């Protein structure tokens, strides 16, 4: 990498961390590097491309470092577990915390390179911790692996926030060991209680594959569940039985229309509007309306 390109990347990374992605302009970065904006564009066509390159460098770095940790044959399984946790904490505390502050995460949409990048960033980090936990606990944890991943991520996020933003004097090596102990406690409890997982493999398959769900996939996964929740709510409404039957018929018509190759916009809209007249059904109607309008547009 050229000296100037490296200088641009270092400047952009620092400014994204301090000011945030949206508030940092290409001109700001060029001024910080004492170069013309046109010189910067020779390396990066846009601020978006510059940010993406920084992120890719960080992804590669954390994965390379973690691979080196696993190659240290003298470590026991427990020591390896603690070292992998410590490595991640160190990375985000000293180098990578800007990722969380510089750009708000958002769902990836077609054509949105940054949205897709942030999704993949999150998916890569979740899968990193998934591998860490799999190496520590083996197949016994597999039904609960995604719940354990989320709990470990949540602990790391909150403690790092305290260290970074409130200057709490917490030792990272001690924190890594503490996390390892707490995960031991958690996994023992999950296995002894034979608890049902909250996050199944099917729910998390888009993160495992590092590919965002399409709208159609989301509807197929969630649509039936939302319809069933609406049906269950109808059965519990404090309205006459005749009204319940009417609402159930509306829901059945909506389900049938949604299964057609070309749903009729006017009918879907009318059915949703009628269902929404019952206050308790509004949350389900709102979700179905968003999906329906998007599908009908497409």
Mean pLDDT of 175-202: 94
Rg (CA), the chain: 25
C-beta separation of 129 from 153 below 8 A: yes
Q: State pLDDT tens for residues 74-102.
A: 899 999 999 999 998 998 887 654 444 44
**Within the chain, where are the H helices?**
3-19, 26-33, 37-41, 47-70, 77-91, 98-102, 113-137, 145-166, 172-193, 205-209, 215-236, 241-258, 265-275, 282-297
21 close to 113: Cβ distance less than 8 angstroms = no
Q: What is the pLDDT of residue 221?
A: 60
Joined together, the tokens standing for residue 95 give 């180098």
Residues 201 and 199: their CA atoms lie apart, in Å, by 7
CATH of 47-202, one of 3.90.1010, 3.30.1120, 1.10.1660, 1.10.357: 1.10.357
Give the C-alpha separation, 36 to 53, whole Å. 20
The answer to whether the beta carbons of residues 225 and 203 sit under 8 Å apart is no
- DSSP at 213: P
As a whole number, the mean pLDDT across the chain is 85
Other residues' Cβ atoms within 10 Å of the Cβ of residue 127: 16
> CA 148, CA 144: separation in Å to the nearest integer?
6
| CA–CA distance, 26 with 244 (Å, rounded to integer) | 59
Contact 114, 66 (CB under 8 A): no
pTM: 0.69
Provide the residue ranges of all domains of the chain, joining segments of one domain with +.
1-45, 47-202, 215-297
* pLDDT reading at 130 higher than 70: yes
| Per-residue pLDDT at 265 | 83
Question: What pLDDT, on a 0 to 100 scale, did the predictor assign at position 1?
Answer: 56
**Would the pLDDT of 295 be above 70?**
no
CA-based torsion, 180, 185, 191, 196: positive or negative = negative
Class of domain 1-45: mainly alpha
- What count of Cα atoms within 13 Å lies in the side-chain half-sphere of residue 64? 6
Q: What is the pLDDT of residues 160-184, one digit of tens each?
A: 889 988 889 999 999 999 999 999 9
pLDDT over 70, % of the chain: 87
């Amino acid at each position: 990498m050229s000296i100037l390109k490296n200088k641009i990347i270092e400047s952009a990374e620092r400014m994204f961390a301090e000011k945030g992605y949206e508030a940092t302009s290409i001109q700001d970065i060029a001024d910080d590097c004492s170069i013309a904006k046109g010189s910067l564009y020779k390396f990066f066509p846009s601020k978006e491309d510059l940010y993406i390159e920084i992120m890719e460098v960080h992804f590669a770095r954390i994965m390379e470092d973690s691979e080196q940790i696993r190659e240290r044959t003298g470590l026991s399984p427990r020591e390896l577990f603690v070292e992998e946790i410590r490595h991640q904490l160190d990375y985000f505390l000293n180098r990578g915390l800007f990722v969380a502050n510089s750009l708000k995460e958002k769902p990836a949409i077609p054509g949105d390179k940054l949205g897709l990048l942030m999704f993949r960033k999150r998916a890569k980090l979740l899968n990193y911790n998934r591998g860490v936990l799999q190496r520590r606990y083996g197949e016994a944890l597999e039904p609960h692996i995604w719940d354990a991943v989320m709990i470990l991520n949540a602990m790391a996020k909150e403690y790092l926030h305290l260290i970074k933003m409130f200057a709490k004097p917490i030792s990272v090596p001690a924190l890594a060991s503490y996390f390892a102990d707490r995960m031991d406690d958690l996994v023992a409890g999950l296995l002894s209680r034979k608890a049902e997982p909250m996050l199944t493999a099917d729910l998390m398959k888009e993160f495992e594959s590092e590919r965002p769900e399409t709208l159609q996939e989301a509807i197929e996964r969630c649509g039936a569940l939302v319809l069933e929740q609406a049906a269950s709510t109808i059965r519990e409404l404090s309205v006459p039985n005749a009204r319940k039957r009417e609402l159930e018929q509306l829901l059945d018509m909506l389900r049938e229309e949604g299964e057609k190759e070309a749903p009729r916009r006017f009918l879907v809209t009318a059915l949703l509007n009628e269902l929404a007249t019952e206050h308790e059904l509004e949350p389900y109607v709102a979700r179905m309306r968003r999906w329906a309008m998007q599908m009908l547009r497409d």
